[in-house]
Structure 1
Amino acid sequence: MTAEPGVDVEERDDTSARDAAAEASAEAAIVSEVSIASASASETRHQQPRGTNGRFMRTPEPAEEADDGLPADRFLDREISWLQFNERVLQLAADADVPLLERARFLAIFAQNLDEFFMVRVAGLKRRIATGIAVRSASGLEPREVLEQISGVAHELMTMHARVYAETVRPVLEDEGITIVRWDELSEEEHERLGTVFADRLFPVLTPLAVDPAHPFPYISGLSLNLAVILVNPKTGKEHFARVKVPPMLPRLLRVETGAAESPLADMYDTRFVPLEDVIAAHLDQLFPGMDVREHFTFRVTRNEDLEVEEDDNENLLTALERELTRRRFGPPVRLEVEEAMDDHVLDLIVRELGVAGSEVYRLPAPLDLRALNVIADLERSELHYEPFVARTNPDLAPTESAKARDIFASIRKQDVLLQHPYDSFSTSVQAFLEQAAADPQVLAIKQTLYRTSGDSPIIDALIDAATAGKQVLAVVEIKARFDEENNISWARKLEHAGVHVVYGIVGLKTHAKLCLVIRQESEGMRRYCHVGTGNYNPKTARLYEDLGLLTDDQQVGEDLGRLFNQLSGIAPRSKFKRLLVAPRSVRSGLVAHIDQEIDREREEPGSGLIMWKVNSIVDEQVIDALYRASRAGVRVVLWVRGICAIRPGVEGLSETVEVRSVLGRFLEHSRVFFFGGGGEPVVYIGSADMMHRNLDRRVEALVRLTDDRHVSDLRSLMERGAGDEYSHWALAGDGRWTRHHVGADGQPLPDLQTALIEMHAKRRRKARRR
């Protein structure tokens, strides 16, 4: 998880999403802080004392067994589990063994993740409660109990987030000459220089808005930073309220120039920033001439920014979404952040005008909105970042002679190619595959799904080039990819104008599958070349997200993709697939069938059953119950889960053989792997689906079965590494508490798994070159 890991509120591809050993004092602070509930929350019903990450664990009601004999309290709450995931990100920010600027980035990631959680999950829950359609969660909590718990945990985490920045990260940044200074810490000369910046760049775009009988309280847009200003008329003594919005199009942190004729190197190691709101606040008299500025405070509102588009066969989905996007910024508020020094009478005014509840108010030390720390994390101080890493070409795609250009098609004809990004270069594999297809006169057609990609993507360029060259090009674009809707609309229009056949999938379903099909005319006839992946066709996130992909010319996979694309673009009858599991029809049922096979195998030969999965989230109750049945039968179940996990591992009589691990680090763990031991003949799938209701019921997802023994062996090795104790990780207990294991028995930090994988892939390439 680096630049933008998301976080998987709606698979924010996360962030980048883009998650190793803390200094004892830093970790002690985290442990002590997160184990203490707020006073108001501790009075909530159904709570018990908690340790680290055990916050607000509901005391189970007397267990009622389900029809299959499973206890009623067998699911952890998904919302609290997600907040615990974000806490793990915060622990990395507090970890002295993580490079300093990466710690600053983890603080920014935490803030961005939490913003999205409130905009989507909290807003959605409040909307369901307001409309009367909210129901008791699978964890047994009533909707309002879930909101209460979210509020308590979020208050606690946001307070800890501010403290980690102020007490743990900021002092070390200052030791390295990187400082965020406040206005009163600057010299007169610096005040004058920033005054010029204000006059030239800020004053023209600022719009002061007063509140009086002729000027109603202004609309406060979501995630905007604002100044609440109290003014006094010197003639009448009357007090007035005004609001000034901090312009979002300008850098949040302004570099303080020294003005001295120093070398660039000297300036690099003495870097100071001042918050933009401080510069504005220092010049409020220019915005309100003739008035006395008595006081000012910053505040920030988070609004419901989830989209609800009614899909109608007779309405163009693109047009409907464009209309809905114009409404998004007017969603109701779900959180109000204010600086802790704000006077009560000012806060009361804002709360009353915005209509927020007291539990939705978060008092925090300034500066608010620590997403701004991305500016600092981007500083070019290599000694304060992770060791440089450059992805290399997968050995199966490397030319035998370095002077020759790669022929991707020839490599795929030779053997299936299993890619693992970012260790294997995306640009010399998937991107090169599409670019070669676009330029190859023997290629007749390209069919491609697009969920998220960058605006300047070479993938988009390749599809346009192919259409321009007269090839048949189909792009199945998911324009409802959350928070990327506007970008997707833009490049969907661009593709349409270039002659690409753009469709938006199936009404009622998001197209989340990661698929590409290339049809090529060859001497022996038509050949289909395929790519099935776990991550998006986005060259930028492919450098930050860990993902898997299969390149193959297997006839069965080609036929499967052909049928699936026909379903997505036309009105095709239900199709049967040979090497694919496709949601919403067969991913859940197919995986459960394989679980049942492992149960049967374990009963026939005790000790032979094995299930190892790697996913972003696991919430689906049917899948979890199947895993519980497997554990009761004695099957070993290992789950490598980055984010949300609703399964309770290690519970006597329920899940004694279930282990749950989480790994976070410089890359966002994003791949999905489904490994079944198979009694010596393992069955392994990779693909786009997480074990969540939305993926299994409301999305088009695809998993492909791997058949190459090398790839099966490689993924078994990967899964065993993730399940082992020799690398730093978090482990989940049955009561919902996550425990970090990052120090070995000898007191030394445990090695980082992703660093080990970098070296493993480097050795593999060196070995391939020697061959």
Structure 2
Amino acid sequence: MHDEGTSTSDYQVDGGVGGDFSDDYDETTSVDDGTLPTDRYLDRELSWLHFNQRVLELAEDPTVPLLERVNFLAIFASNLDEFFMVRVAGLKRRIVTGLAVPTNTGRVPADVLASINSFALELQHRHARAFHDLVKPALDEASIHVETWADLDDADRARVDEIFTEQIFPVLMPLAVDPAHPFPYISGLSLNLSVRVRNPKTAKIEFARLKVPTVLPRFVQLADSSSGNLRFLTLEDLISNHLHELFPGMEILEHHEFRVTRNEDVEIEEDETENLIQALERELLRRRFGPPIRLEITDDMDPVTLGLLVRELGITEQEVYRLPAPLDLGGLFELAKIDRPSLKYPKHVPVTPVQLQPGEPNTAPDVFASIREGDILVHHPYESFATSVQAFLEQAAKDPNVLAIKQTLYRTSGDSPIVEALIDAAEAGKAVLALVEIKARFDEQNNIDWARKLEKAGVHVVYGLVGLKTHCKLALVVRQEPDGSLRSYSHVGTGNYNPKTSRIYEDLGLFTADEQVGRDLTRLFNELSGYAIEKKYKRLLVAPRYLRKGLLKLIATETKNARSGKPSGIRLKLNSIVDEAIIDALYQASMAGVPIDLVVRGICALVPGREGLSETIRVRSVLGRYLEHSRIFSFHNDGEPQVYIGSADMMHRNLDRRIEALIRLSDPAHIAQVDELFERHLHDEAASWHLHPDGTWQRHHLDGASGDLDDVQNGLMKSIADRRRSPKKR
């Protein structure tokens, strides 16, 4: 849904829910030696659509709590909007401008776009059916009714008339289209009504556009009936049945809903001589006026109105999506927030990691003392972000012995205690460096605002390196110990420093006081804020210079071991895998006999289980109440495991155009913890989806067995809660 963003869905793709939609059209990075088949990659766009189909299957699943199904319907819609705004827009732009579009499938770009439009339309119709035929009837049974105007009796309509007059009418702005009023600008993703009216005196037919206000609730709650039902009417339905008040004296001939999706992909030419913030703010203004790339209309729209919209918007027939009302089911996020705990996942309260619990009752925890005892691996949202990462930075801000704090910020929430801790530290006189990535897609303005707030407080704010996004998740605290020595306390994570998303994104983070890690992070921060070119990382793999090479070397070791008859194995947990060099290396490892398991949330361009190519590769996907977001890289290494966690997916942009960092785990207990995580995801009885060689994903069912499959996330929740009740150990 975008990379770990703070958008309304909170389940976005890395994207995401499948992947950040960066314009990832690099030349392929294949390491093919001529022995691999040419049709060895799956189409990445269609793979993403298959991911969103898995989200839709959760909405269709009657075993999922009802309001969570409503939420998944909204997530599907929000994900697809962003996919069109960025990915499809990028494809269309390149086709229109004649730019090359390298595809690892070898297909003609125009054919790719046609396939996307066809499959996306099919999924949107399935999405509409899921709402009308499955979820809406279930809501009715739960006494939550989404009414239509025809459902209302006279008393209801009288009350709705009052609501319209007092709360809605003053906000509406009908815009006529005639020689004196040119066709208005239609903002992206806005819901609109097209209205055709006739003047009874002149018989002349006119057209008007009416925007459904976004400042008002999408679902207007009606007065409770005596039965206690919750009853709602969509805002557009309410407005549509009061058009006579907006066009008095005119005959209303036709009115229909429509919605435009625009190209909102920001392209910024980074010039070392130009202020990056000013250049980005200029591009953000342009984003609002990107060209249309999708027109959604209700399936009853008349040909005359459609012809006008197609002509004025410059839309092709292929880009018109006829759908049943209501459009924009992303608005269902409002209904998903209804306070009915029995219709939602059972409440889960994150626990404090065992190592960070106070040693004695009624005493304040000392995060630094806990980290000095040994590395701490935390697992969110099962373990609390507030009592681990947030507590780490808040204690650093208050501790008089802390001299410096350095941190990367890719996305953070609007009321971030993390940012406030950095401000408090700067105001207390500490040296504070914040690397704010202001190019984080759809969070650009938010990050610009935070950067300026930090600068005003005295924080040293930098924006990374020209041409690269800083995506790594790093925090470094330098503290003077009682003996006068300086010690570095480090945190490297797989997710953002965002308290809001930490409650729904599954992520890992490592705290360590290891001197080597401290030196690695110090050197990396110097490279990000200064002009250093570092080549001395020991426990980190850092992109863009070393990460791909390091992973290819690790894969090659497993390949060599398998060919030598030694034990081997590769396990990867990712959001997406597209990079050809990594995929080809995994194919070659499979042909050598290496057992390979991939747990991929979103896009997967690798073909598993193909004879002679990838017979030893399995691909699984787990979706549920939490967004699987951690990236883990585990290699058997002949019995001496090499395990890394970090921020990078196996995509061109992550490996070539971003600052990414993976950290190697050194504690055997942490490696065992990661092994357990893989076992849960890969178990035959785990609730998951399996990728087949033909590129289709199938929800896993137990053959010939009864009973429910194991919910991986529920199992982890229980396991980690049980661990909390155990004595504090090292």
TM-score tier after normalising by the smaller chain length: over 0.9
Paired position in structure 1 for 2:4: none
Deviations 1:19-63 (A, max 9, x none): xxxxxxxxxxxxxxxxxxxxxxxxxxxxxxxxxxxxxxxxxxxxx
Does 1:203 pair with 2:198?
no
Q: Which secondary structure does the structure 1 equivalent of 2:672 belong to?
A: helix
Deviation per CA, 1:651-694, whole angstroms, max 9, x where unpaired? 11100100000000000000000000111110000000000001
**Counterpart residue type for residue 78 of structure 1:** R
Alignment of 1:168-179 (within 5 A): 168-179=134-145
Output aligned runs, 1:486-525, within 5 Å.
486-524=445-483, 525=485
C-alpha displacement of 1:81: 0.1
- Within the alignment, does 1:149 sit opposite 2:149 as a pair? no
Please name the residue that 1:410 is paired with. Answer: 369
The equivalent of 1:121 in structure 2 is 87
Amino acid at match of 1:322: E
Q: Does 1:550 align with 2:550?
A: no
Unaligned runs of at least 5 residues, structure 2 = 2-6, 22-29
For residues 393-417 of structure 1, the C-alpha deviation after alignment (integer angstroms, 9 at most, x for no partner) is 0001111212010100000000100
Aligned residue number for residue 480 of structure 1: 439
Cα distance in 2 for residues equivalent to 1:464 and 1:342: 54
When residues 576 and 223 of structure 1 are mapped into structure 2, their CA distance, relative to the original with a 3 A threshold, is same
Partner residue in 1 for 2:153? 187
1:448 corresponds to: 407
Q: Secondary structure at the match of 1:117?
A: helix
Contact 2:544 2:658 in 1 (8 A): yes
Alignment of 1:82 with 2:48, yes or no, is: yes
User: Could you list the per-position Cα deviations for residues 448-481 of structure 1 after superposition, in whole angstroms to 9, with x for gaps in the alignment?
Assistant: 1000010101001101100110111111001111
* Change in CA separation of 1:654 and 1:113 when aligned onto 2, cut-off 3 Å: same
Deviations 1:426-445 (Å, cap 9, x if unpaired)? 00000000000000000011
How far residue 179 of structure 1 moved from its aligned partner, in angstroms, is: 1.1
Q: Distance in 2 between matches of 1:11 and 1:110?
A: 11
Q: 1:193 Cα deviation (Å)?
A: 2.3
Report the TM-score when normalising by structure 1.
Answer: 0.91
Partner of 1:7: 12
Q: Is the 8 A contact 2:379 2:507 kept in 1?
A: yes
Does the CA contact (< 8 Å) of 1:744 and 1:750 recur in 2?
A: no
Task: Report the 3-state secondary structure (helix = DSSP H, G, I; strand = E; otherwise coil) of the residue aligned with 1:109.
Answer: helix
Task: Output aligned runs, 1:215-364, within 5 Å.
Answer: 215-258=181-224, 267=228, 270-364=229-323
- Alpha carbons 1:609, 1:678 under 8 Å: kept: yes
Determine if contact 1:9/1:121 at 8 Å carries over to the other structure: no
Pairwise CA RMSD of aligned residues? Answer: 1.8
1:360 to partner: Cα distance: 0.6
Q: 1:14 offset after TM fit, Å?
A: 6.9
Instruction: Tell whether the 8 Å contact from 1:136 to 1:142 is kept in structure 2 after alignment.
Output: no
Contact 1:3 1:544 in 2 (8 A): no
Q: Which of 560, 575, 594 in structure 2 is aligned with 1:600?
A: 560
Task: Find out whether 1:531 has 2:498 as its counterpart.
Answer: no
Would you say the 8 A contact 2:31–2:581 is kept in 1? no
Mean CA deviation greater in 570-579 or 492-501? 570-579
Deviation at 1:643, TM superposition (A): 0.3
Q: Which moved more, 1:279-288 or 1:185-194?
A: 185-194
Alignment-mate amino acid for residue 4 of structure 1:
S
Q: Deviations over 1:515-547 (max 9, x none)?
A: 000000112300000000000000010000000
Deviation at 1:7, TM superposition (A): 3.3
The residue type paired with residue 7 of structure 1 is: Q
Q: Aligned letter for 1:546?
A: E
Q: Which of the numbers 64, 80, 83 marks the counterpart of 1:98?
A: 64
Quick one: which of 697, 705, 708 aligns to 1:738?
697
Q: Answer whether contact 2:422 2:459 (CA < 8 A) is retained.
A: yes
Cα 1:401–1:9 shift into 2, 3 Å: closer
For residue 650 of structure 1, what is the aligned residue in structure 2? 609
Q: Counterpart of 1:373 in structure 2: which amino acid?
A: L
Contact 1:65 1:71 in 2 (8 A): no
SS state at 2:496 partner: coil
Residues 244/686 of structure 1: CA separation in 2 closer, same or farther (3 Å cut): same
* 2:416 is the counterpart of 1:457: yes
Secondary structure in structure 2 of the residue aligned to 1:464? helix
Deviation at 1:605, TM superposition (A): 2.5
After superposition, give the CA deviation of every residue in 1:687-735 in whole Å (9 maximum; x if it has no partner).
Answer: 0000000100110000000000100111011112212212111111111
Q: Which amino acid aligns with 1:371?
A: G
> What is the rounded CA distance, in whole Å, between the counterparts of 2:14 and 2:631 in structure 1?
17
Task: Tell me how far apart the structure 2 counterparts of residues 13 and 628 of structure 1 sit (CA, whole Å).
Answer: 23
Give me the whole-angstrom Cα distance separating, in 2, the residues matched to 1:668 and 1:745. Answer: 30
Match of 1:632 among 576, 585, 591: 591
CA separation in 2, counterparts of 1:679 and 1:573? 33
Q: Does the aligned pair in 2 maintain the 1:125–1:134 contact within 8 Å?
A: no
Mark the CA change 1:9 to 1:439 in structure 2 (over 3 Å): closer, same or farther. Answer: closer
For residue 42 of structure 1, what is the aligned residue in structure 2? none
CA distance in 2, matches of 1:485, 1:745: 51
State the Cα distance separating 1:68 from its structure 2 match.
Answer: 3.5
Whether contact under 8 Å (1:560, 1:577) holds in the other structure is yes
Q: Give the CA deviation at 1:199.
A: 2.2
User: 1:578 deviation in Å?
Assistant: 0.5
Residues 65 and 72, structure 1, Cα contact 8 Å, conserved in 2:
no
Match of 2:671 in 1: 712
1:663 equivalent in structure 2: 622
Range 640-649 or range 516-525, more displaced: 516-525
Question: What SS does structure 1 have at the residue aligned with 2:726?
Answer: helix
Partner of 2:101: 135
**What secondary structure, in the 3-state scheme, does the structure 1 residue paired with 2:187 have?**
coil
- Pair 1:579 & 2:539 matched: yes
Distance in 2 separating the partners of 1:88 and 1:618: 17
Amino acid at match of 2:488: R
CA distance in 2, matches of 1:723, 1:70: 27
Letter aligned with residue 182 of structure 1: T
Alpha-carbon distance in structure 1 between the residues aligned to 2:529 and 2:316: 46
Q: 1:745 Cα deviation (Å)?
A: 3.2
**Residue pair 1:505, 1:511 contacting (<8 A) in 2 also:** yes
Q: Which amino acid aligns with 1:254?
A: V
TM-score, length of structure 2 as denominator length: 0.96
Q: What is the rounded CA distance, in whole Å, between the counterparts of 1:769 and 1:745 in structure 2?
A: 43
CA distance in 2, matches of 1:742, 1:511: 41
Moved more, 735-744 or 102-111: 735-744
Bigger shift: 191-200 or 179-188?
191-200
The residue that corresponds to 1:213 in the other structure is: 179
When structure 1 is superposed on structure 2, of 463-472 and 178-187 the one drifting more is: 178-187
Matched, 1:562 2:567: no
